[in-house]
């Protein structure tokens, strides 16, 4: 499908976002979350190793937490605030994680966030999903800038973000508190002109040649 046709109606006249219900990459299908995903989300996000790296995931994380979170998605999408997709493995349709764009339409930028459940790490899913979200953000939403951040110890996320073409902007020292401990936060970004000129995205932004 032609990308411009796919994204013709991403933003309607009242600035709410009409985004594709699914995004396809070579190994993944990104789709809207469903109420029945709550148990799986609680299982994956309830892993303390996942929660420790995501500022807005508490621990313990219950099925009620997951239901409340999924229940917010349509409101956020309809009000042009955030697009959230479930990351599912194409072959099995199993839910492996989540990815989002928190959009600021006034300034034409968005923050990308994601997590991948521990059993599905190391397969390149984060890189592949993040590349697809860049495509949505730049080709679909006509954003000027997309940025992301990670806690200083999370060097795996650093690799994901640089592989999709983001540039390390700097470090905010002691910027975030997680469970009473302050952490340095690393910031990355990519601009629209960098995205369109990058060979990383020349063929298909969801490609993941690295396998990470």
- Tell me if 31 is assigned to some domain: yes
* CA 139/CA 61 separation, integer angstroms: 35
Strands 95-104 and 82-89: antiparallel
pLDDT of residue 209: 34
pLDDT of residue 58: 87
Interval 40-74: pLDDT, tens: 999 999 999 898 888 888 899 999 999 999 999 99
- Whole-prediction pTM: 0.86
pLDDT of residue 212: 36
- Tell me if 149 is assigned to some domain: no
- Tell me if 44 is assigned to some domain: yes
pLDDT of residue 13: 44
pLDDT of residue 53: 82
- Tell me if 57 is assigned to some domain: yes
pLDDT of residue 91: 95
- Tell me if 123 is assigned to some domain: yes
The CATH number of the domain holding residue 16 is 3.40.630.30
Domain range for 110: 3-144
- Tell me if 14 is assigned to some domain: yes
Sequence length of the chain is: 212
Give residue for tokens 């411009």. 4
- Tell me if 202 is assigned to some domain: no
Q: Pick out the chain residues at pLDDT < 70.
A: 1-18, 199-212
Counting the structural domains of the chain, the total is 1
């Amino acid at each position: 499908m032609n990308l411009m046709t796919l994204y013709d109606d991403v933003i309607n006249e009242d600035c709410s976002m009409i985004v594709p219900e699914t995004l396809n990459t070579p190994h993944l299908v990104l789709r809207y979350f469903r109420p029945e995903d709550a148990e799986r989300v609680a299982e994956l996000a309830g892993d303390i190793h996942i929660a420790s790296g995501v500022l807005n995931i508490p621990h313990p994380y219950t099925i009620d937490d997951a239901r409340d979170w999924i229940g917010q998605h349509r409101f956020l999408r309809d009000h042009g605030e955030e697009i959230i997709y479930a990351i599912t493995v194409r072959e099995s349709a199993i839910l492996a994680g989540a990815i989002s764009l928190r959009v600021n339409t006034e300034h034409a930028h968005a923050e990308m966030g994601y997590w991948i459940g521990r059993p599905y790490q190391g397969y390149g899913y984060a890189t592949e999903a993040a590349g697809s979200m860049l495509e949505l953000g730049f080709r679909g939403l006509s954003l000027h800038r997309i940025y992301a951040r990670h806690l200083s110890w999370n060097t795996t996320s650093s690799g994901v973000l640089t592989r999709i073409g983001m540039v390390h902007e700097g470090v905010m020292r002691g910027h975030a508190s997680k469970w009473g401990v302050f952490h340095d936060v690393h910031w990355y970004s990519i601009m629209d002109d960098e995205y369109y000129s990058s060979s990383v995205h020349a063929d298909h932004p969801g490609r993941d040649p690295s396998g990470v």
